[in-house]
Structure 1
């Protein structure tokens, strides 16, 4: 079994603020799937996306209560090409309305840092170099 792509759906309170936050971090949106109810955040064109959906519209997809950002239901981890990108992205997130929920961790072969976006969704940004794993 192999999936063609993944769309992580997350509720957000303010689409304009959300667009500004992610644009500042260097990400883009697929405008074909973005409107006044949702934004399609491109994580890796053709493979990975996050649908950032207004709370009102999000409720139409579930029969459960929508997270208000005070609990953890999912940790979204994204891998980048360089260790420095981890610090760049997390630094920009913290300067633009994100908050820290955990300090960075360095395992040698894997380095990651974390932030919560303005809606409280928790993101882990990681760099891995598996060639440096000791046997």
Structure 2
């Protein structure tokens, strides 16, 4: 994965950049191996300044959580 400053990204896309405070342009997903890994990654995201939008929960077929990073991107972490 590569992350770019907005000005650099805009030069690649030749398009307006989505305002993540107004809408969600993508949901990024990181598969994990265990419930413990989900919980650890969520804790690290919060320590780095992220905000939880989906508390850790068991859906029966998977366990997962979600957070919003400092740029407003939403990340989902399901147990694979």
- Tell me the TM-score range normalised by the shorter chain: 0.7 to 0.9
Instruction: List structure 1 segments (4+ residues) > 2 angstroms apart after TM superposition.
Output: 102-105
RMSD (Å), alpha carbons: 1.3
- The 5 Å alignment of 1:1-135 reads 50-70=1-21, 71-128=23-80
Q: With the length of structure 2 as denominator, give the TM-score of the two structures.
A: 0.87
User: Which sections of structure 2, spanning at least 5 residues, go unmatched?
Assistant: none
User: Which sections of structure 1, spanning at least 5 residues, go unmatched?
Assistant: 1-49, 129-135
When you count strand as a share of all residues, which structure comes out higher?
1
Distance 2:54 2:9 in 1: 27
CA shift at 1:92, angstroms? 1.1
Structure of larger gyration radius: 1
CA deviation profile, 1:98-123 (whole Å, cap 9, x unmatched): 01122333122300100011111110
Aligned length in residues: 79
Question: Which structure is higher in RCO with an 8 Å CA cutoff and minimum separation 6?
Answer: 2
